[in-house]
């Protein structure tokens, strides 16, 4: 989703009047049994995937069917994803609820304690192995699925490359990198795709929340076009995740989990 805005392009010569396609960004509230848990700034698309993926990666639920109902409500000044949970899960959520107002670049804003920000994710023990050439194929092909970015040049993408199919089976875009990953994970869960049947490629830097979300999902390999933070590398090592960054169509850097990359 995007709109066209007028602009003035300034260069060495006379300024030019142009238009630019800019991506939409809107507040999206996640509510469970009518109680707000988080508010994220995100692209208003693939919201069913977003609701499920966020709920899973934030460890609010363990299985998709724990969400008994989902309603998307347009409130005029934002969107609300109204979800219903079972009694036991709802009571558990009440005990650990946090309110989060997160800008697009931040996936951990609003957490109530330092301990919560660095809570260790599950360990990933998958034996999946991929060749370097397969990673290059995925990097080469991701751009073909980035329709919104091709128009706006302003959003991130997260794609899942299936080893069985030898192609991307899902790609999601968003103004926030962590939102794109949540949407992707939600799409994979809804499709019943095993998390260790492929790997994730992203068009962003690698920060700790991406590592935590992917490890929680159980996917063993994350490839991204930018570099990781030091904390993300440590978290990936502890989680048994393979982390590859600064990825191009002819090279990439492997920071952790080298055993899964076949040279």
Chain position carrying tokens 């169509």: 249
Query: How many Cα atoms occupy the beta-carbon half-sphere of 44 within 13 Å?
Result: 19
106 annotated active-site: yes
Write the CB contacts of 5 (distance below 8 Å, at least 6 apart in sequence): 19, 20, 22
In terms of Cα–Cα distance, which of 58, 60, 59 is closest to 85? 60
Q: Distance between CA 130 and CA 149 in Å, rounded? A: 27
The sign one gets for the Cα dihedral 113, 224, 182, 198 is negative
Cβ contacts of 63 within 8 Å, gap of 6 or more: none
- Burial class of residue 42, CB neighbours in 10 A (0-12, 13-18, 19+): buried
CB 104 within 8 A of CB 175: yes
Q: In the structure encoding, which two tokens stand for residue 17, read together?
A: 């009047």
How far apart CA 68 and CA 19 sit, in angstroms, is 44
Q: Is 97 exposed, middle or buried (0-12, 13-18, 19+ CB in 10 A)?
A: middle
Q: Which one from 47, 106, 154, 246 is the annotated catalytic residue?
A: 106
> Which residues on neighbouring strands pair with residue 71, listed in sequence order?
82
> Which tokens is 110 given?
């609003």
Q: Mind telling me the catalytic residues? A: 106
């Amino acid at each position: 989703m995007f709109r066209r805005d007028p602009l003035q392009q300034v260069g060495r010569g006379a300024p030019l009047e142009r238009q630019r396609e800019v991506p939409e960004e809107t507040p999206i509230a996640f509510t469970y049994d009518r109680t707000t848990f988080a508010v994220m700034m995100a692209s208003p698309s693939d919201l069913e995937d977003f609701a499920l993926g966020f709920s899973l990666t934030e460890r609010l639920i363990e299985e998709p069917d724990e969400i008994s109902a989902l309603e998307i409500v347009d409130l005029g000044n934002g969107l609300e994803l109204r979800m219903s949970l079972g009694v036991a899960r709802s009571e558990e959520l009440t005990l650990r609820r946090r309110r989060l107002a997160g800008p697009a670049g931040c996936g951990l804003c609003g957490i109530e304690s330092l301990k919560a920000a660095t809570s260790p994710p599950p360990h990933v023990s998958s034996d999946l192995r991929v060749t370097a050439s397969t990673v290059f194929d995925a990097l080469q092909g991701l751009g073909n699925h980035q329709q919104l970015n091709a128009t706006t040049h302003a959003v991130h993408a997260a794609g899942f490359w299936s080893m069985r199919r030898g192609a991307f089976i899902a790609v999601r875009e968003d103004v926030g990198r962590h939102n794109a990953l949540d949407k992707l994970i939600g799409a994979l869960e809804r499709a019943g795709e095993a998390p260790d049947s492929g790997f994730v490629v992203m068009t962003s830097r690698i920060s700790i929340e991406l590592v935590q979300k992917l490890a929680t999902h159980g996917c063993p390999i994350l490839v991204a076009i930018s570099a990781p933070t030091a904390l993300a590398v440590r978290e990936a090592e502890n989680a048994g995740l393979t982390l590859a960054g600064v990825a191009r169509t002819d090279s990439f850097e492997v920071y952790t989990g080298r055993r899964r990359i076949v040279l």
